Structure 1
Amino acid sequence: MKKYNIVLLTILLSFLALSGLSGLTNESVSIHMHITNTEQGQSPVFIGRKVLFSYSAPSKKRYIRRVGISFGFEDYRVVYPFFKNGKNVFIYVADVPAGIASIDYRIIVDGLWIADPNSPQTFVSNDGFTISRVEIPAYLKYSTETPVIKQGRTVQFIYSGDSGKSVFLAGNFNNWDPFMLRMKEDPGEPGLYSLSIKIPSGNQYYTFIADGKEIIDPNNPKKAIDKNGKKVSYLFVP
């Protein structure tokens, strides 16, 4: 088992490197643990900005050589291979695509195209094929657009994390006060916090504060270093 964990961690690190990630983040550790502990195929699981698909043989008597997956947003042109964990479960880890509300896909088992037996939804396409579908959680759909600049210099900030936290927004637009701008958790989407405020034009720098811990916006690629050498997020308001 120890040898297997080392091999699996090597696979995961290779995947993260190909994804442009470096180091073991909370997301990557969670993915590793999920892969290690998965004992049978299950519905797709979202961890951070990744989604994990899994498949296992319907019975122990059936031997499966290869499993793949193909996606509707790519018109099913590409088949991506699964890898197998130490419990004979085939797994594929994908980035959550931006700009769509759900992921349509099909599983390929030893060359046979099928619907995912663990998919929460299926439908029949115009061509008569049964397609699997998984809805993308609202917090991920929102996070592809954060921060959202609206009319009149109003900006919507969105933070996703654990439910029940005290989350605040601090930036140069409020003199970095860590308690002035509290973000509200969406009761319909636990763990999704948002705040819309009007801020001045120009470059604006900010960070989130969750239970006293400063967190830069993971969904905003624009980063800067403040005068104290601390990394922060920024945006330009017209």
Structure 2
Amino acid sequence: MKKIFALTGFLMIFTSFFSQLSAKENTPAPDTYEYDLTLTDISDVREPYISNDFMVFTAPVDSNSIGIAFDYEEFRTIHYFQLRKNYGYDGELTSSYYFYITPMPKKISRVCYRLIIDGLWTTDPRNSNVIHDKKDNYALSYIDLPPSEVEITEKLANGLTHFVCHAESGQKIRLGGSFTNWDSWIYELKETSPGKYEIDIPLHPGTYYYSYFKGITPFLDETNPLRGYSNDGRIVSCIMIN
């Protein structure tokens, strides 16, 4: 019996390893069409705006580096602007600017942020919308977002964390992450309406990384713009529970 048990345990470990390896190899390439279209539409430096469900921020090239930090990330992460140069048909530089594009967070009506220009935290000089944070006693730039009716992954008032996936109807969608040691066979989402899959699970405060799985193929949570990396280097979804 001990030999049979040992062989069974080995097969389970091998199967788990093979599944994770296959998932990595079969991760679908991200669709960048909307992002590329939004980038192409940038014509000049201006106030922040919404385009194709992205927030777009621009800045002139009069500093060495520009970063941005958001309130919905508790200002913990600095995202750096990229430099874009445009050239004419003769190969001469026609314009250049810094830019940062990021998906709109869901179910948030206002995004507050600060810029970090050459290491100094400040408001956005191109945005006249400024409020004062009484708690931390500094000014914040903000951008108001259009309302969103799409249900998203989020922490609920009852202490549970609600995971939701919008996909083709009739699928078996599973959830795996750092809270399951990347075992995707513990939690399976329930299709509560055509194309909407949901599950509520208890999670203690902390930062977690996860993916949805269809078969052995992992894919990102499109309702959650936060991203991170798994231990094997895959891009995965991230959620911070307070």
TM-score bracket relative to the smaller structure: 0.3 to 0.5
Greater RCO between the two (CA within 8 Å, min separation 6)?
A: 2
